[in-house]
Amino acid sequence: LDGHVVGRVITEVEVHHERAIRRHLAGASDFAGRLRGHTVHAAQRRGKYLWLVLDGEQALLGHLGMSGQLRVQPEGAPDETHLRVRLRFADHGPELRFVDQRTFGGLTVTELVDDVPEPIAHIARDPLDPLFDPAAVVSAIRRRRSAVKRALLDQSLVSGVGNIYADEALWRAGLHGGWPTDALPVAKGRALLAAAGEVMTEALAAGGTSFDALYVNINGQSGYFDRSLNVYGQAGRPCNRCGATILREPFMNRSSYSCPRCQPAHLMGLASLRRTGAAASTS
Ligand SMILES: [Zn+2]
């Protein structure tokens, strides 16, 4: 979006489905009025939210939900079946369209508070944010009475890491998600956050992880990071690092995938870490 809408002036706003702007409580005409005539200054994101910075400390905030898409399309291109909102620009260049089959996602115009849209001020920075502070995040994780994977998915601690990328990051860091957070060594915590950042960077380069044709870029193309997954969805297959059989365990109505050898459960892990620690302290 940064390369396609920044610097352009919004001239027309069409809301085709009220549900797509249900978080904008003042309704469609207010929504359109707050956008019309305004210049887009930046495209930013935090966690699962993204926003366009507008004049006057305002932002167009969006969440894609399960099936939302922001598409950049030439004026006059046929409307998508599930077109919900359309923005036209003063230069008559490509339109910005919000398309959402299930309409769990949505758009709203909101105030910016310290450069972050007010409704998402409680969401923590993600590992790719230039101001992400790994040391502070590891401390916050260790203070939680929780398990490491739950903490990694808690958006008030760190954002942008969903179930798939959490499993991949835990595998890279050699850590089982069931570890108690207060037993997480600082160095392991730092390794985990670094791994989460790596996974996200690689996934972005691949265009995302698409198990679903609805996850697309602004041109409607799917990503292919699913071909690079080491543990997620790999139950029964050999671990790419050690050859042990990848396990699937139930986790919060979903699944967790891990290698039983590379990611030992807590007690075994603690013992091996103590050995490592002892070796390190005598060397
Ligand atoms: Zn392994």
CA of 199 to the centre of ligand 1 (A): 17
pLDDT tier for residue 276 given thresholds of 50, 70 and 90? very low
CA of 165 to the centre of ligand 1 (A): 17
CA of 207 to the centre of ligand 1 (A): 26
CA of 177 to the centre of ligand 1 (A): 14
pLDDT in tens, 71-118: 999 999 999 999 999 999 999 999 999 999 988 999 999 999 989 999
Q: Which of 212, 260, 253, 216 is nearest to 234 (CA)?
A: 260
Mean pLDDT to the nearest integer, 212-231: 70
Residue type for 254, please? R
**Does residue 265 register a pLDDT over 70?**
yes
CA of 244 to the centre of ligand 1 (A): 5
CA of 208 to the centre of ligand 1 (A): 24
CA of 169 to the centre of ligand 1 (A): 13
How buried is 184 (Cβ within 10 angstroms: 0-12 exposed, 13-18 middle, 19+ buried)? Answer: buried
Radius of gyration in angstroms for the set of CA atoms belonging to the chain, rounded to a whole number: 22
Please tell me the distance from the alpha carbon of residue 198 to that of residue 119, in angstroms, as a whole number: 28
Residue 260: which residues within 8 A CB-CB, separation 6 or more?
Answer: 244, 245, 247
CA of 264 to the centre of ligand 1 (A): 9
Residue 242: which residues within 8 A CB-CB, separation 6 or more?
Answer: 259, 261, 262
CA of 212 to the centre of ligand 1 (A): 28
pLDDT at residue 207, rounded to an integer:
74
CA of 16 to the centre of ligand 1 (A): 50
| Residues near ligand 1 ion, CB 5 Å cutoff | 239, 241-242, 244, 259, 261-262
CA of 243 to the centre of ligand 1 (A): 6
Mean pLDDT to the nearest integer, 230-256: 95
**Does residue 157 register a pLDDT over 90?**
yes
Mean pLDDT to the nearest integer, 170-176: 97
Q: Which of 186, 208, 6 is nearest to 94 (CA)?
A: 6
Please tell me the distance from the alpha carbon of residue 58 to that of residue 36, in angstroms, as a whole number: 12
CA of 278 to the centre of ligand 1 (A): 23
Mean pLDDT to the nearest integer, 254-273: 77
CA of 259 to the centre of ligand 1 (A): 5
Mean pLDDT to the nearest integer, 273-279: 44
pLDDT at residue 283, rounded to an integer:
31
**Does residue 185 register a pLDDT over 60?**
yes
pLDDT in tens, 38-48: 999 999 989 88
Mean pLDDT to the nearest integer, 208-231: 69
Mean pLDDT to the nearest integer, 158-182: 95
- Considering only the C-alpha atoms of the chain, give the largest distance between any 2 of them, rounded to a whole number of Å: 71
